[in-house]
Chains A and B, each alone.
Chain A
């Protein structure tokens, strides 16, 4: 592989071949050949192989059981900040205040292992697509987003789902996850032990509505069936809730469904 070819490149250079010839024979790029040759001249044969990037396997920051229990309890509650739900940095701060020093990055890894890191909706390029999803986006979403942005408001996307733990999280319970993606796909989430009720959704909406006008693209709930949520929406005309239709294929579909 790469290191063997780097060693071969140095041997060829020692035999008097030019960088271009060595690059051609080993399949490496000229800068890589030069870098290997430079490393050899500075540190001998031991310096030629490149090391793996990042931490070694098993050296990642691990969350203890107590910290994991605290995280689970925190995720079921509301954050003390004005954020609509928990972000990884807010979780790290809350854990730190309880004596657990964990980086936001480690929390994101933990969320991923627990199956609690949903991907943002694939909306890029949807407006140009000739499909049901494309038409829905152009007709139902784009005008609302434009109107909200013109009025100085922001937009969010999110949903509710049953989080299935990743295989690595053996024994982790199923959780009902409320999630939002903000700017640049930042994740905000809450996780409950039972299906969210109208109060849970409304707590989320209230926090978002504090910075109205706001548009929220949401999937996974039938809000039309909830009188509490319909009443709240009627009282908050600057909160634009757009439901993602069920079974709408948002991914790239060559058949254009």
Chain B
């Protein structure tokens, strides 16, 4: 009898979840945020339905404030893998020019991410959406089920979740309900990196340490990715060797100082770290339990 490694078990579980969703729902979609978890989720989806491409499109809810390297990577990947990529930007947010500097991280996230996602799901009538969230990222994600049911208004009720004993998933939806599905729920950040290394999965170069222009804001190292970033009077960005553990909107994503410019070096760094990757996300520090509040309102 062959014994599966822990990564093979996780891979098998994720593939089973994806196949379950495709067989039980009518119009699934995969949320593609261009990060490392999305890269792994996309890789697993391609494995799950090989040799055909996955039978669902990719959806990128764009805020217009992602790193330039993310946009380049997203477009390259969409071209290479031949899947449909839907890019949705909240038109109301564009009209009001919502941005993290003028409106703050909370409003920016709510309008451009949460509302944008809800708009896209309604517009294309998706009844299931894969997300790359993991339990080890943040406490509200830790208690969320793999199959997370949302009301017709996309709200999440953390006190009303279905049991998932023995990995048996109840996929029955009430009328108007949709499901957010998290095939990577049981993966850790270290698992993700090990899997990326073993499977040679392409990722955005921002995950590797390199000299990048950064400014310090409230203890976070914020990369000056384009000329839209307003500098304080007299402020001069410093070139520092940094990398990102998580990627989001660049003004809201803190870099870490690191020398890890290869996958083995990143894995070694992960083995020694004792903080969550989400500590680099400004939006998670908005208020206590801010992620749970955002999730209740429809954030993925």
Given the contacts A225-B224, A225-B231, A247 and B236 also touching, CB distance less than 8 Å: no
Q: Tell which of A16-24, A180-188, A195-203 binds the partner.
A: A195-203
Minimum Cβ distance to chain A for residue B208 (Å): 11
Minimum Cβ distance to chain B for residue A253 (Å): 14
Cβ < 8 Å to B, chain A residues 49-85: none
Q: Among the listed A196, A197, A198, A222, which residue makes an inter-chain contact with B239, where contact means beta carbons less than 8 Å apart?
A: A222
Tell me which residues across on chain B come within 8 A of A201, comparing CB atoms: 236
13 pairs, CB–CB < 8 Å, chain A vs chain B: A162-B257, A195-B236, A196-B238, A219-B239, A221-B236, A221-B237, A222-B236, A222-B237, A223-B236, A226-B235, A228-B234, A246-B211, A247-B210
Given the contacts A246-B212, A247-B210, A199 and B234 also touching, CB distance less than 8 Å: yes
Interface of chain B, helix or strand or loop or mixed?
strand
- Which residue numbers of A lie inside 8 Å of B, CB to CB? 160, 162, 176, 194-199, 201, 219-223, 225-226, 228-229, 246-247
Minimum Cβ distance to chain B for residue A201 (Å): 6
Cα separation A247 to B211 with both chains bound (whole Å): 6
Taking a contact as CB atoms under 8 Å apart, the answer to whether B215 and A246 are in contact is: no
B66 contacts partner chain A, Cβ-Cβ < 8 Å: no
Tell me which residues across on chain A come within 8 A of B239, comparing CB atoms: 219-222, 246
Q: Count B interface residues, CB 8 Å.
A: 17
B162 contacts partner chain A, Cβ-Cβ < 8 Å: no
Taking a contact as CB atoms under 8 Å apart, the answer to whether B211 and A195 are in contact is: no
B213 contacts partner chain A, Cβ-Cβ < 8 Å: yes
Tell me which residues across on chain B come within 8 A of A220, comparing CB atoms: 238-240
Minimum Cβ distance to chain A for residue B54 (Å): 36
Taking a contact as CB atoms under 8 Å apart, the answer to whether B236 and A196 are in contact is: yes
- Which residue numbers of B lie inside 8 Å of A, CB to CB? 210-213, 215-216, 224, 227, 231, 234-240, 257
Tell me which residues across on chain A come within 8 A of B211, comparing CB atoms: 246-247
Tell me which residues across on chain B come within 8 A of A228, comparing CB atoms: 234
Given the contacts A195-B215, A246-B210, A247-B211, A222 and B238 also touching, CB distance less than 8 Å: yes
Taking a contact as CB atoms under 8 Å apart, the answer to whether A160 and B234 are in contact is: no
Cα separation A199 to B234 with both chains bound (whole Å): 7
Cα separation A228 to B232 with both chains bound (whole Å): 11
Q: Among the listed A162, A226, A246, which residue makes an inter-chain contact with B236, where contact means beta carbons less than 8 Å apart?
A: A226
Taking a contact as CB atoms under 8 Å apart, the answer to whether B238 and A160 are in contact is: yes
Q: Could you list 4 further interchain pairs (A-B, Cβ under 8 angstroms) beyond the known A195-B215, A220-B238, A221-B239? A: A160-B238, A199-B234, A219-B239, A225-B237
Tell me which residues across on chain B come within 8 A of A162, comparing CB atoms: 238, 240, 257
Taking a contact as CB atoms under 8 Å apart, the answer to whether A225 and B216 are in contact is: no
Closest to B216 in A: A195
Cα separation A67 to B95 with both chains bound (whole Å): 60
Given the contacts A222-B213, A225-B224, A246-B212, A198 and B238 also touching, CB distance less than 8 Å: no
Minimum Cβ distance to chain B for residue A81 (Å): 25
Taking a contact as CB atoms under 8 Å apart, the answer to whether B237 and A197 are in contact is: no
Taking a contact as CB atoms under 8 Å apart, the answer to whether B238 and A195 are in contact is: yes
Cα separation A176 to B210 with both chains bound (whole Å): 19
Cα separation A176 to B239 with both chains bound (whole Å): 12
Cα separation A246 to B257 with both chains bound (whole Å): 15
Cα separation A194 to B213 with both chains bound (whole Å): 16
Cα separation A225 to B238 with both chains bound (whole Å): 10
Minimum Cβ distance to chain A for residue B79 (Å): 26
Given the contacts A195-B215, A195-B216, A246-B211, A225 and B236 also touching, CB distance less than 8 Å: yes
